[in-house]
Amino acid sequence: MVRSLWSAATGMNAQQTNVDTISNNLANVNTTGYKAQGAQFKSLLYQELQTVTTTANGDPKPTTSQVGLGVRTSTINQFFRQGSFLNSDNPAAMAISGDGFFGYLDTDGTTQLYTRNGNFTWALAETGGTDLVLTTAEGNKVLGIDDQEIRVTGNLVASRITIGGDGKIYYPDEDGVPQQIQNFQIEMYQFPNREGLERVGSAAWKETAASGAVIKESTAAGNGIKPSEIVQGYLEGSNVNVATEMVNLIVAQRAYEMNSTAIQTTDEMMQTANSLKR
């Protein structure tokens, strides 16, 4: 009976993690570029109550006697399916159609992070003047094909800057015809195993050994990498499916209740055993 107490307790702990994960998904249903997560479970070791033996005739018995010792959370997977495109009034807003990521520098100025949140802005360069630098909403510098900041010079109006599907940056000439600015191009990145990326915050990731080395789309043409496409004027919404998450939440709650009932039943059985008299 003590075994059943601990087995049910592991089930309650696992379902608590499951509920935490689902709650985080629902909390980020309106977070731009957010990717849903899901808890996965794994059975613990089995205790062998009786080993394989043979009958009096020497024939092996067909089954053994084993009992499980509970469950544990094995992984929390990330689901990178495409989110819906949402119209944005921000002229520097961008969404990615495909498997790519935008790259930008973290606050330390050296660590490279990756995101699907294209809520960017053109900010005045720190050196003053009229130079514009493409940054995230938090002010981090978005990276171009040379892994450097994207800085455009001249008295340019930020709202008139356009972005091509391949990430090239254009500005209209005197005749209103878009012309590429100084060969600037926004880089898009992919990974051999994007599920292995380390999450940093709600909508940013960092390269790990599990994700594999980052691949630049600008230099990976023809190597089996399908190029992504940038769509200006849109943002990629969260890929959380509210209906699915609500169903998962109900299932997790019921599983938690059943494990709690198992603990109560074991407690009642132990009370009965302790109350026995000769």
pLDDT digits (tens, 9 = 90+) for 51-80: 766 665 656 666 667 787 889 999 999 999
Q: What is the pTM of this model?
A: 0.85
Q: Give yes or no: residues 197 and 269 share one domain.
A: no
Q: Give yes or no: residues 200 and 258 share one domain.
A: no
Q: Is residue 27 part of a domain?
A: yes
Q: Give yes or no: residues 221 and 251 share one domain.
A: no
Q: Give yes or no: residues 114 and 196 share one domain.
A: yes
The overall average pLDDT reported for the chain is 90
Q: Give yes or no: residues 73 and 196 share one domain.
A: no
CA–CA separation, 158 and 243 (whole Å): 40
Q: Is residue 64 part of a domain?
A: no
Please count the structural domains in the chain.
Answer: 2
Q: Give yes or no: residues 130 and 202 share one domain.
A: yes
Q: Give yes or no: residues 226 and 249 share one domain.
A: no
Tell me: pLDDT of 27 over 80.
yes
Instruction: Identify the domain containing residue 261 by its residue range.
Output: 1-7+18-49+69-79+240-278
Residue 55 has what pLDDT?
61
Q: Give yes or no: residues 94 and 213 share one domain.
A: yes
Q: Is residue 171 part of a domain?
A: yes
R_g over Cα of the chain: 28
Q: Is residue 141 part of a domain?
A: yes
220 or 254, which is more confident? 254
Q: What is the mean pLDDT of residues 267-273?
A: 87
**Extended beta strands in the chain, E state:** 37-43, 46-50, 65-68, 71-78, 85-87, 94-97, 101-105, 112-115, 121-124, 132-135, 151-152, 162-163, 168-172, 178-185, 188-190, 198-199, 204-206, 215-216, 229-232, 234-236
Residue 34 has what pLDDT?
96
